[in-house]
Amino acid sequence: MDSQRIPWDQYFMAQSLLLSLRSTCTRLSVGATIVRDRRIIAGGYNGSVTDDVHCIDDGCYLVDNHCVRTIHAEMNAILQCAKFGVETDGAEIYVTHFPCLQCTKMILQAGIKKIHYMEDYRNDDYAINLIKQAGATVHKVSVSKNYFDALAKGLAHES
């Protein structure tokens, strides 16, 4: 029965939630999933540059109250696309938290026209304006706990 299946927006947000569990940031765990044609093309979480120390190991490297060590989840996902030659134009992004201004600019510049997020987090007025100017859309997604409860029941039943 299709009505029992998790809706697409919640499915992709659940992927972002799962990615956020890999975050090495001690201040906020964020995950991002880039999707085109209902297919995941990249994912990212906030963490340090490869081979650098992680905030969870050495603490945050704060400058003007921002951690400069951390690459944001959205940037990591877009960089993954760049590294492997995957087109982002016309894609959608699912982010656990509303993107910061810098990430919003990068998302729009990458040609991503739909931004889905779950949690409000310092929603920047200028970022919201840029989204409107670009003709992009923003959509807040709620993930139903029922799907995770069903998953947990299914896993418990199998053991």
Active site residues: 74
Cα–Cα distance, 26 to 76 (Å, whole number): 17
Do residues 49 and 6 lie in contact, with contact meaning Cβ atoms separated by under 8 Å?
no
Q: What is the 3-state secondary structure (H, E, C) of the chain?
A: CHHHCCCHHHHHHHHHHHHHCCCCCCCCCCEEEEEECCEEEEEEECEECCCCCCHHHHCCCEECCEECCEECHHHHHHHHHHHHCCCCCCCEEEEEECCCHHHHHHHHHCCCCEEEEEECCCCCHHHHHHHHHCCCEEEECCCCHHHHHHHHHHHHHHC
